[in-house]
Chains A and B, each alone.
Chain A
Amino acid sequence: MQQFANPTRFLSLANGALPYIWAVTLILFAIGLYGALVTAPPDYQQGETVRIMFVHVPAAWLAMLVYTVMALASAVAIIFRHPLADVAAKTAAPIGAVFCFLALATGSLWGKPMWGAWWVWDARLTSMFVLFLLYVGYIAIWQAIEETGRAAMIARIVAIVGFINIPIIKFSVDWWNSLHQPASVFRMGGPTIAISMLWPLLVMGLAYTFLFLALHLISIRSEITTRKLRNLQIARSENR
């Protein structure tokens, strides 16, 4: 892993991998959307509304996965002082925030026809909203604090402490009475969802994951370029 901490080597690897990642992402989206909108049957209770699941659930999975990546990268930054760890955490945050917002918004659009309410202060929804606030707070720290080292240290602590919310989101439907349905894919005893709905859901989940990977690599590249430019500008001003 140590060799990937070198920004130049990382950029070279990322630039080589990106076309393949984009190709896989497009193929997965094409197959996933075909499964979600064409082959998956309507639910016997929810009817066509169940198709919201294929954009809502992957967005929620990715919102949690991206925050986990941020917390891990922050831990790596503290323990091993990898030069890329802070960059990886910082650049993942806006992508995770968009996924989190989409999970909340599409969930609201699913909730209105099924529960009769756009929003309820239920444990799952509230913990997901807290995750969104954590994303916004994390981004705000990087924006508000000019000194990079100080911003990085505070952001690392927020990312690691905020990680406690991830298992709370996952198990909120088991720990508290909830309008939200319990886990039906990643659960002990295997999925309870019909295979005709499960495969498009998993393919869409993979498509979202590859999309995150592609966007994250590009964002890391941008951040490295921006930092390189800043260092060159400082070096030039010091030489004058």
Chain B
Amino acid sequence: MDWNANHSAFVIASYAMSVLFLAGLIIYTFTRDARARKRLAQFEKTKT
């Protein structure tokens, strides 16, 4: 990859956007899963 080539900013922007959104999706998925499991664990704790 020649970083000084014509239009390389478009290539960088495409990869940066992909990384940003996929990382965001991964973080959202893990956070939602952790929150759901925590809420279930808390509920089961209060049940006993």
Contacts and interface: CB of A to CB of B under 8 A. Distances in A.
Interface residue tally of chain A, by bracket? 35 or more
A47 to B, nearest CB: 6
B28 to A, nearest CB: 8
Nearest to B6: A47
Contact of B18 (A48, A102, A219, A236): A102
B13 A109 contact: yes
Contact of B37 (A38, A59, A225): A225
Identify whether the interface residues of A are mostly helix, strand, loop, or mixed: helix
Most chain A C-beta atoms within 10 Å of own C-beta, residue among B17, B25, B30:
B25
A124 interface: no
A37 B25 CA distance: 23
A98 B18 CA distance: 10
Contacts of B40: 225, 228-229, 232
Nearest to B25: A98
Contacts, number: 91
Contact of B8 (A48, A56, A215): A48
A95 B2 contact: no
A151 interface: no
A222 interface: yes
Nearest to A58: B18
A105 B11 contact: no
A42 B6 CA distance: 12
Interface residues of B, number: 29
Most chain B C-beta atoms within 10 Å of own C-beta, residue among A110, A218, A225:
A225
B5 A48 contact: yes
B17 A102 contact: yes
A225 B41 CA distance: 10
A232 B30 contact: no
Contacts of A42: 2, 5
B36 to A, nearest CB: 4
B10 A109 contact: yes
Interface in A196-240: 211, 215, 218-219, 221-222, 225-226, 228-229, 232-233, 236
19 contacts: A37-B15, A38-B1, A47-B7, A48-B11, A49-B6, A51-B14, A55-B14, A95-B25, A98-B25, A109-B14, A110-B10, A211-B26, A218-B29, A221-B33, A222-B32, A222-B37, A225-B36, A226-B36, A229-B43
Query: When A and B form their complex, which 10 residue pairs have the shortest distance between CB atoms, in order from nearest?
Result: A113-B7, A225-B36, A48-B5, A222-B33, A55-B18, A106-B14, A52-B14, A222-B36, A229-B40, A109-B14
